[in-house]
Amino acid sequence: MNDWVAFYDSPHSIYVSARHRDVHYARLADEIACYVPAPTAAVLDYGCGEALHADRLAAVTGALTLAEAAPSVRARLVERFRRNPRIAVMSTEQALALPAQSFDVVVMHSVSQYLTPDELDRIVRLFHRLLRPRALLLLGDVVPPEVPAISDAFALLKFGWSNGFLLAAITGLVRTVFSEYWRLRSRIGLTRYSEAEMTAKLAAADFVATRAPANLGHLQTRMTFMARKAGGP
C-alpha cells in the first residue's frame, strides 16, 4: 500500500486531462449521494483521493468526513473545502481511530485493489466498529480475477467519447504504458476478488453483503458491494 500512496502523493497522469478528472469525481459524488439514507447522515469517504466534488455529496449529508492517506492530496482537500462546515478532512489512520458508531455510511471506492488481503481484513473490521446499527458499508471498484487490463483502456475510451476528452484518453493511454503507474501495476499487481470471495471476506468481518446492480463510476467490469452488520434489519 505504501508504494501506491507514494504514487498518488506525487505528480501523476492517472487522469488524462482536467476534464477527465472533473467528470470522474462528479460522477462518483452523484452516485454515492444516491446511497445516503437521510440528510442528517454522517458519511465517511475512506481513501477519497482528490474528491473534487465532495461538496455535492456533502450537500445531501449532515456531515462528510474525507479520509486520505497521501499528505499532499490531503492538504489540497483541506484548502479546497476549508469553508464548508459539513466537510472534515483527516488521514486514513485518524479516521479509523474515531469513536465507535460514528457513521451511517462508510464508502471505500477504488482502494481494495491496492491493499493486501490482510490489510483489507483489518480495515473492514474497523469499519464494522465505526458503523452504526443499520448503517451501510459501500465497497466500490473491486477488481474481479478474470478482468484483463485492456478492459480498463476500452472503458476509458468510451468514457472519453461520452464526455468530450477522447483525444486526451488516447494520448493518455499511450503515456500510461511508460508511466510509474504501469511499472507499479506490473511489479506489485492489483489485488483481485471474485464476487464469492469478497462476500465471504465481508461475512468474516460480521457483515451481510450483496453485490450492487452497478459499480460506482464508469468501470462496469468491476464490482461494488453493499454490506450491513450481521443481525441488523
The boundaries of the domain holding residue 46 are 2-228
- pLDDT tens digits for 199-227? 999 999 999 999 999 999 999 999 999 99
Q: What is the pLDDT of residue 174?
A: 81
Q: What is the pLDDT of residue 65?
A: 98
**String of DSSP letters for 117-176:** HHHHHHHHHHHHHHEEEEEEEEEEEEPPTT--HHHHHHHHHHHHHHHT-HHHHHHHHHHH
3-state class percentages of the chain: helix first, strand second, coil last, to nearest 5: 45, 20, 35
- Cell 458519511 belongs to 43
DSSP class of residue 207 equals E
pLDDT at 231 over 70: no
Is 52 among the domain residues?
yes
Among 118, 117, 76, 111, CA closest to 92: 111
Q: What is the mean pLDDT of the chain?
A: 92
- pLDDT tens digits for 10-60? 877 788 899 999 999 999 999 999 999 999 999 999 999 999 999 999 999
Burial annotation 159-196 (CB, 10 A radius, 16+ → b, else e): bbeebebbebbeebbeebeebbbeebbeeeeebbbeee
Q: What is the pLDDT of residue 9?
A: 85
Is 89 among the domain residues?
yes
CATH code of the domain containing 88: 3.40.50.150
Burial annotation 53-78 (CB, 10 A radius, 16+ → b, else e): bbbebbebbebbbbbbbbeebbebbe
Taking the C-alpha atoms of residue 80 and residue 212, their distance in angstroms, rounded to an integer, is 31
Q: What is the pLDDT of residue 175?
A: 79
Q: What is the pLDDT of residue 232?
A: 56
pLDDT at 191 over 80: yes
199: left (phi over 0), alpha (psi -120 to 50) or beta: alpha
Our count of domains for the chain comes to 1
Whole-prediction pTM value? Answer: 0.92
Q: Residues 50, 18: contact at Cβ < 8 Å?
A: no
Taking the C-alpha atoms of residue 209 and residue 141, their distance in angstroms, rounded to an integer, is 15
Is 63 among the domain residues?
yes
Is 186 among the domain residues?
yes
Higher pLDDT, 231 or 152: 152
Q: Residues 195, 211: contact at Cβ < 8 Å?
A: yes
Is 47 among the domain residues?
yes
DSSP class of residue 16 equals S
Q: How many CB atoms lie within 10 A of CB 116?
A: 11
Is 233 among the domain residues?
no
